[in-house]
Amino acid sequence: MSEIETVPSTGILEFVKRHPVVSHQVSAAPIRPRSGAGLPSRIAVVGNYLPRQCGIATFTTDLWEAISTEYGSARLFAVPVNDTESGYAYPARVRLALQQDDLSSYEHAAEFLNFTNFDLVCLQHEYGIFGGPAGSHILSLLRRLKMPVMTTLHTVLREPNPDQRLVMEEIAAISDRLIVMSQLSSQFLQEVFKVPGSKIDMVPHGVPDLPFLDPNFYKDRFGVEGKAVLLTFGLLSPNKGIENVIQALPQILAKHKNVVYIVAGATHPHILRREGDCYRSYLQALAKEVGVESNVTFHNRFVSPEEMVAFIGAADIYITPYRYEQQVVSGTLAYALGAGKAIISTPYWHAIELLDDRRGALVPFQDPEAIARRAVELLDTPAIRHAMRKRAYVYSREMVWRSVAQGYMASFAQARADRTRQPRALFADASPEKYLDQLPALKLDHLHRLTDDTGMLQHATFSVPNYGEGYTTDDNARALLLAVLIEQLGGTESAGIEKLAARYLAFLGYAFNPENGRFRNFLTYERKWTEAAGSEDCHGRTLWALGTVLGRSRNQDLRGAAGRLFETAVPAVLAFSSPRAWAFTLLGIQEYLDSFPGDRDALLIAGRRSADSVMVSAALGALNWLSEIQRSPDNDHFVPIGSQGFYRKGGEKARFDQQPVEAGGAVSACLEAYRATGDDRWLKEAWSAFNWFLGNNDLRIALHDPSTGGCRDGLHPERVNENQGAESTLAFLMALVEMRSLEEVKHPQSRRNLFIARNNNLETANVL
């Protein structure tokens, strides 16, 4: 007897011929994580989850278990959808749940996911599990998410209705990447929904990694030893077409009297609530009517994964007699393939792909005689049946859950990389107002909050000081510099600033180590220094702050204390090798010489103070280059070089993480360029850098917190770092004070050496 022929679905083959689209990197094998790919550490899956009884709940749970096994469980959380008010007894992995028809629950879930800083959200999409027309409630969640979104599409329709089309188009637009489980799904996305193939990843439906066993190994568990077992597995609903197998049984039994047909699975909960168990009752009555009642066994329960393995393992032939072609994914079919089963199926879309190359037999829809004929042929010819089993099993090795987990993690990493290269604004923040001619109020609440009796604390958790991280001389030097500038600015904001300045100066005095002439940097909250000398940059920055006190403060006590410390600390600079430390020191000496122009020791270090046009030209050229590379591709806004990789010669610019200190440094340098040249271009560049704090950035999210006066710690590819530490807050406040001094800026002065030093201050750019 010849090997069994398959009966294709004419409709689907005609569609493929009419629309020959080549999908981007779509193959039966899942993609793999690339070396060095940035894997997310906190992932939330949104979709159904066990113990809810549905196919997506089973899929999501299996997927998350596979990722946990491969990459660790600490990174995974779940946000399922409740279709009942009471919900379900979820495991600890579930942090909160959506109420299917409650739109506000979707909005609250988005707020929770953003607040808890998840790196990525993986949406399991099926129209029927979310509330609203065509499941549109899920859009309220997606629109608010700040992190990358990966969407697994369990249904992609060839002929969607208007609501289904609108929902799918917006999901595709919001999602960073889309995962499909069949070639046809990718084709529909590209042709019907106009999704670029480059945005689609093909990762097959996962299957357990089962051994290739003889079905007799499992049959005694179900009392069918010595029988030929036909099996249909999964939640029951009228579209499963099980009646066609029952109607085929008399013909099958006429040739093979030892055949038993097992129907395993509970009725779908939605069908059960709406119609009761009518379909099962109909099937039982039909079996009795055609005289096969004793050959049909119903297992009316939602079986565990372990029992599912046993059921499928016991089958000689697995049958999916679905009534309609519009099914792009079938988990039960994938499981049967993974177990190495001989399979008979109607030609729905997923079956056409999985059972290609003689991995199964396809029969027409609603055709009991064709089912009977194929079943008899397979039972008559064990050699053909076993060859089919082997082809199915070998093909499915790339579908085991471990490989699928690797494919998902590779897609996750690609989504994060894509978001880094092409950051996107949050939907709700896509069009912020650009403050091109107004400045926020100078509010010092957070500055006071971070300052205690010792000095300025280094870090904060949100806006709450973090005692555990202690203090740094770097931050107290910055704070002293800011305090002097605020004193110079005057006005109501300067009230009490001299008290803060004295505290910061006292910290710097305590930081000086007379044994080696160097400033220490890190001080614990218990007031213990962690090193004998800080970095050269720390020393230079402190000299800058001390020199500024001498050059600008009107408080004679502050000037006296700062002068003594400055004089003692300057000699150490002669042995330094850090260009940034030199720049900081020159800034401090410049300020010092404004007050003591005849000090020969300082002049020996600073060199002759003169207007050197060559140096000014070189500095302007360097700043011009820096300004050009720190722009968005569309030249719309300021983009500081990120700290995750910086920008090394011959390398690629790091887009993130963007730091407030870079924007603050750019504001200062551009204002100095304006002072030196009077060119309005530099005033515009200063505004552009300053507006980065206010939301004119890659994500259209403000880093400045007007409620505290502080500044958030950085811009990540998908969100801001909500902590308001000392460095970030001081960078913003310094930039604000300098922008508030525009009246001075509008009258250019010849302070070119200061501009040169400031331009050489590598703190303004992560360029190496």
pLDDT computed for residue 628 by the predictor: 96
- Is pTM beyond 0.75? Reply is yes
Please give the distance of CA 128 from its chain centroid, rounded to a whole number: 26
Residues carrying CATH 3.40.50.2000, the chain: 31-206+403-421, 216-392
Give per-residue pLDDT as tens, 652-664: 999 999 999 999 9
Residues 6+ apart with CB under 8 A from 3: 358, 384, 387
pLDDT computed for residue 210 by the predictor: 92
Q: CA-CA distance, 7 to 374, in Å (whole number)?
A: 11
Give per-residue pLDDT as tens, 158-216: 999 999 999 999 999 999 999 999 999 999 999 999 999 999 999 999 999 999 999 99
Structural contact between residues 338 and 396, judged by C-beta atoms closer than 8 angstroms:
yes
The CATH number that domain 31-206+403-421 falls under is 3.40.50.2000
pLDDT computed for residue 15 by the predictor: 34
Residues carrying CATH 1.50.10.10, the chain: 463-609
pLDDT computed for residue 642 by the predictor: 94
Instruction: Look at residues 705, 176, 656 and name the one whose alpha carbon lies nearest to residue 450.
Output: 705
- Count of alpha carbons within 13 Å of 647, Cβ hemisphere only? 18
Euclidean distance between the first and the last CA atom of the chain, given in angstroms as a whole number? 74
pLDDT computed for residue 17 by the predictor: 37
pLDDT computed for residue 751 by the predictor: 44
Q: Where are the beta strands (DSSP E) in 555-597?
A: none
Using alpha carbons only, what angle is made at residue 197 by residues 193 and 199, rounded to the nearest 5 degrees?
90
pLDDT computed for residue 503 by the predictor: 98
Q: CA-CA distance, 439 to 740, in Å (whole number)?
A: 8
| Weakest-pLDDT range from 112-116, 434-438, 711-715 | 434-438
pLDDT computed for residue 550 by the predictor: 95
- Give the model's confidence band at 603: pLDDT under 50 very low, under 70 low, under 90 confident, else very high: low
Give per-residue pLDDT as tens, 675-686: 889 999 999 999
Q: CA-CA distance, 208 to 198, in Å (whole number)?
A: 29
The CATH number that domain 463-609 falls under is 1.50.10.10
DSSP alpha helices (H): ranges in 150-277? Answer: 162-174, 183-192, 216-219, 242-255, 269-275
Q: In the predicted model, what is the mean pLDDT of the chain?
A: 88
Residues 6+ apart with CB under 8 A from 270: 83, 128
pLDDT computed for residue 611 by the predictor: 58
pLDDT computed for residue 303 by the predictor: 83
Q: Give the CATH superfamily of 216-392.
A: Glycogen Phosphorylase B; (3.40.50.2000)
